[in-house]
Amino acid sequence: MRFIVLMSVKIKFLAFIDGDVMILSAMRANIGKAAMMIRMGGLVAFPTETVYGLGASIRNSRAVAAIFEAKGRPTFNPLITHIAEAEQMNEFAVPDSRAVFLAQKFWPGPLTFVLQRKPQQAFLDLVCAGLPTMTIRCPNHPVALELIERAGVPIAAPSANRSQTLSPTTAEAVWKSLDERVDIILDGGACSVGVESTILDLTTPQAVILRAGGITKEDLEDALQETVYFSDGNPDKPTSPGQLSRHYAPAKTFRINVTDPRPDELFIAFGSGFNGAQLNLSPQGDLREAAANLFAFMRAADENKKFNAIAMAPIPMEGLGVAINDRIKRASRRA
């Protein structure tokens, strides 16, 4: 089933595929149409506070398989299950006291848990890449929450882009990456956080960050009053999203920690003292502003035809800078 075109005023062009609409403004009526599409087994791209997600019902294995096909994503890379309220964790997973406490403190928000799955739920096998664990979060975005609630089912959703390319923070970026591979794109404006959620493994006695993101190590340690560890995991056998060695990557050659860019490189600066930079993630050195701008600026640099390559200034390894450095490190690796 397809719907008639309703374009968001935020997008300054009309986009048709075989006369079908792909981008719908995130008004209530259109969220209802998107929820119906989820229930029917379709794919819906929707905004969260982190990046746009490509969603399908976790109870429809064919729809979940279509996510992997649309993204060109390996099926050994698990998906995050998005829920509308913390209590839904108990339907699918076995949360411990830490998960319950952290959900109360940080949800809705950019924090994903890795938890043990409940047994005898075969419909989750593809979502969880066959693992005995699942990744789950409650997003802090009114459109995402309403979509999940009206669909009546949790939504499996990785970022709404082709695998190993830049994550989308606008509906237009989703369109450019996925076009006809998605049934509906809900346009809820630009994402406020701009980098993916923090993924925290709670299946071990020590809490371990598997992917740095919008909730920092310091935030978690302050809440838990204990040391939280980091692990990059095994890129050949990921236990959560974001562990592939090359990810979030532009098409152009991309160098990081650069202070002296080459003439053919578009330079993305951070902070003051870079008057010749074409782009600056945050002239004031604000890491939250930098995170929100990161993927949009990398995409703009990738699309700029005046430069053959991209270079980025050093980013401090503190707070959200840890998540930014994780993304650009993976983006700079060549296939």
Q: Are residues 105 and 173 in the same domain?
A: yes
- What is the number of structural domains in the chain? 2
Q: Note whether 138 and 227 are within 8 A (CB).
A: no
What is the spatial distance between Cα 200 and Cα 306, in angstroms, rounded to a whole number? Answer: 40
Q: Is residue 2 part of a domain?
A: no
Sign of the torsion formed by the C-alpha atoms of 307, 308, 314 and 319: positive
Q: Are residues 165 and 305 in the same domain?
A: no
Q: Note whether 153 and 172 are within 8 A (CB).
A: no
Model confidence at 7, in pLDDT bands (50, 70, 90)? very low
What is the spatial distance between Cα 77 and Cα 63, in angstroms, rounded to a whole number? Answer: 16
Q: Is residue 8 part of a domain?
A: no
Q: Are residues 203 and 261 in the same domain?
A: no
Q: Is residue 123 part of a domain?
A: yes
Q: Are residues 299 and 164 in the same domain?
A: no
pLDDT tens string 155-172: 999 999 999 899 999 999
pLDDT tens string 96-144: 999 999 999 999 999 999 999 999 899 999 999 989 999 999 999 999 9
Q: Are residues 42 and 90 in the same domain?
A: yes
The CATH number linked to 271 is 3.40.50
Domain that holds residue 300: 253-332
Q: Are residues 218 and 270 in the same domain?
A: no
Q: Is residue 163 part of a domain?
A: yes
Q: Are residues 174 and 216 in the same domain?
A: yes
The CATH number linked to 45 is 3.90.870.10
Q: Are residues 180 and 320 in the same domain?
A: no
- pTM assigned to the model: 0.86
| Residue-wise DSSP of 61-107 | HHHHHHHHHHHT--TTS--EEE-SSGGGHHHHB---HHHHHHHHHH-
pLDDT tens string 231-262: 876 666 666 676 565 667 899 999 999 999 99
